[in-house]
Structure 1
Amino acid sequence: MYPAVKYLAYASRRLLATLSLILMVVWSQALNAQTAKESLVEKAIAQVESLPRLHTLLAAHDGEPFIEYAAPGKSLNRPANIKSLSKLVISALVGIAIERNVMEGVEQPITELLADERIPDGADPRIHEIRMKHLLTMQAGLERTSGPYYAPWIASDDWIAYALTRPFVDEPGGRMLYSTGNTHLLSAALTDSSGRDTHTLASSWLGEPLDIRIPPWTRDPQGIYLGGNNMALSPRALLTFGELYRQGGIHDGERILSEDWIAASWTPYTRSEFNSDLYGYGWFITQLAEHIVYYGFGFGGQRLYVIPSLALTVVMTSDPTPPSPGQAYMQTLDDLVAEILIPDVEKSSLDKP
């Protein structure tokens, strides 16, 4: 064999051996990464199975679900009572209404948007100082209609008048006073300013373009859909809604929500007295595992987390019936995100070539 030919044969064997070694290393790394990912997913599933109140867990990275858990008898596709996660939907509807010029903006007084007959006689004149922004950020100043005040409010024969005649315990724009009555006033404002009920708006402005089902829910004695509680969405629908925010208001190439509205919704304006987290337009703002997290919560353990820095969206639904599981359960849900889901996504990102 000629020397040149012998050399080429030798070089070819060396090249094949090197390529084989590289492929083995890449395959080994991919296998190890997959094994580690499966281990973390298994750990997450094991933890949620130990929480009898937790009904579903749905987590997506870059829009692709990597955990899809439903407890026996529960479903990721069936609507569930999302409790106060409803406030996020109402907030989105307000943003769309402003974008469509149905409302002027967040500085508009609420009394300009409500029908005249909804303004109760004898109400404190300061109600005319309450602006849309104050309701979105829970800074209306009125006595709360949530917590121990919720039952008397719902038992009243006019939820709008009841909310507007609560005594002022702070000035409009003052401290955060979490109150479902605030978002119910927003629901009434949406209805009166648009001429369409809140369910119709939700179905038209969010349900149809996002291809999610939003069934009718509770109405007040005057027929206004309850703003901020008792809506029903499936976990998959909630994930789609959360992804809308993570994607800057765009779904399937179509703009549904203004990017400016999302930025404003995720801007901290005040702070919760209950958990010390910051608060925007219906969204709480916190930090988990050194990542900024925007989230909504509902009674009993309904959760929607959006973590833009990781392209991570997480949905959890839990038993919505009283009694409350308490702060320890809520902390467990946060820990699940901080100690398992976030590290999983971080590792997956590092393992990508």
Structure 2
Amino acid sequence: MVFLAKPLVIVGLLWALPMAGAVASVDRIVEAAEELDRLHALIVLQDGVVVLEHVQGGPGLDRPANLKSVSKTVMSTLVGMAIERGLIEGVDQSLAELLGERFPAAATPGAEGITVDHALSLRAGLASTSGRNYGRWVQSEDWVAHVLTRPMSDRPGGRMIYSTGPTHLLSAVLAEVSGRSTEALARDWLGQLGIRLGYWPSDPQGIAFGGNDMHISPRDLARLGEWYRLGGELDGRRGLNRDWIDASWQPRGTSPWSGDDYGYGWFVTELAGQTAYYGRGYGGQALFVLPDAAMTVVITSDPNPPSPGGRYFGRLKRLVEVAVRTQAGSASQSLGLR
């Protein structure tokens, strides 16, 4: 019995070390999160397992939060599902063809050449409706017509011009090709993925606000991230097309502010030595997917102005890096590598 007691104690210590390392790594992530006054909620998953759910403000984890421009990432998902269902032929189809009579006769010359690809990648060429132009756009009587009569700042398919206008055009396209409101369509299709859509405002014509103000809970947003991380298959069933995910993550333009690449509703960058795909929204809303690290990270923050903008989002990126590095360290310790 004396000889058996020592091995039992050693085994207990071996179990305790990984657990202590995991707790310490989570504590480091929480400490970093608590330094961000605007942060509302943080979810970190690795290999599909919840590592951390942290709340320090806002509506919590299960109630819908305003995603702001992370809505563009969700819109990309809806467009991909529409293509898979045959409602849209493909990304090379023109918006003029898809919108039909909704395409204004007074559209800016060249706008007829804008395709689904151009709108998804924010390379429509039209002057932005965001920033200082945002107020005039959302106060207009017809948001679709307003977007398509903006002057051309570049050719369709040229440089990335950050604007919510092109993604709102895609919402109009979905309503036109489906014969349903985009909101009803989104509730149906996202619901099939286990994602509940909350409040989503519409323009004066009843078109859901494509690319902004979509409300989804942090936990449901994390579920969307997991669908993407796992190549479109979750819980033993396929809900997204893997080819669409690959296409969405293919860089097609570059942000003039952050320098990060942009695909179809997703930015592409490198964090802690890992390729990271992310959607971001005003005030600090974010969905990060890091496939090689097997991680999905959701962050919600105060969506109200004033927002510290790029500086704050840079801090959110550093928070994700803390999560990646501490989880990698915890995993290596549990394997006896440290």
| Same fold at TM > 0.5 | yes
The answer on whether the counterparts of 2:282 and 2:309 sit within 8 Å (CA) in structure 1 is: no
Q: Deviations over 1:207-258 (max 9, x none)?
A: 2x22232024110001100000000011001101111101111122221110
SS of the residue corresponding to residue 67 of structure 2 reads strand
**Residue correspondence of structure 1 range 215-234 to structure 2 within 5 A:** 215-234=198-217
CA distance in 2, matches of 1:56, 1:305: 14
Shift of 1:22: 5.7
Q: Relative to structure 1, is the Cα distance of residues 234 and 105 closer, same or farther in structure 2, using a 3 angstrom cutoff? A: same
Alignment partner for residue 125 of structure 2, among 126, 141, 154?
A: 141
Alignment partner for residue 258 of structure 1, among 228, 241, 250?
A: 241
Larger Rg: 1
Query: Quick check: 1:69 aligned with 2:51?
Result: no
In structure 2, runs of 5+ residues without a counterpart are none
**Residue correspondence of structure 1 range 172-183 to structure 2 within 5 A:** 172-183=156-167
Code of the residue aligned with 2:332 in structure 1: it is L
Code of the residue aligned with 2:259 in structure 1: it is S
Query: Quick check: 1:271 aligned with 2:254?
Result: yes
Q: Deviations over 1:36-57 (max 9, x none)?
A: 2212211221222232210001
**Residue correspondence of structure 1 range 1-353 to structure 2 within 5 A:** 17=3, 24-72=9-57, 74-116=59-101, 118-207=102-191, 209-338=192-321, 340-353=322-335
CA distance in 1, matches of 2:136, 2:35: 36
| TM-score normalized with structure 2 length | 0.95
Q: Relative to structure 1, is the Cα distance of residues 351 and 21 closer, same or farther in structure 2, using a 3 angstrom cutoff? A: farther
The answer on whether the counterparts of 2:126 and 2:151 sit within 8 Å (CA) in structure 1 is: yes
Code of the residue aligned with 2:272 in structure 1: it is A
| TM-score normalized with structure 1 length | 0.91
The answer on whether the counterparts of 2:41 and 2:57 sit within 8 Å (CA) in structure 1 is: no
Q: How many residues align?
A: 335
The answer on whether the counterparts of 1:205 and 1:256 sit within 8 Å (CA) in structure 2 is: no
The answer on whether the counterparts of 1:295 and 1:306 sit within 8 Å (CA) in structure 2 is: yes
The answer on whether the counterparts of 2:164 and 2:211 sit within 8 Å (CA) in structure 1 is: yes
Shift of 1:120: 1.8
The answer on whether the counterparts of 2:64 and 2:217 sit within 8 Å (CA) in structure 1 is: yes
Question: Would you identify which runs of 4 or more consecutive aligned residues in structure 1 move more than 4 Å?
Answer: 19-26
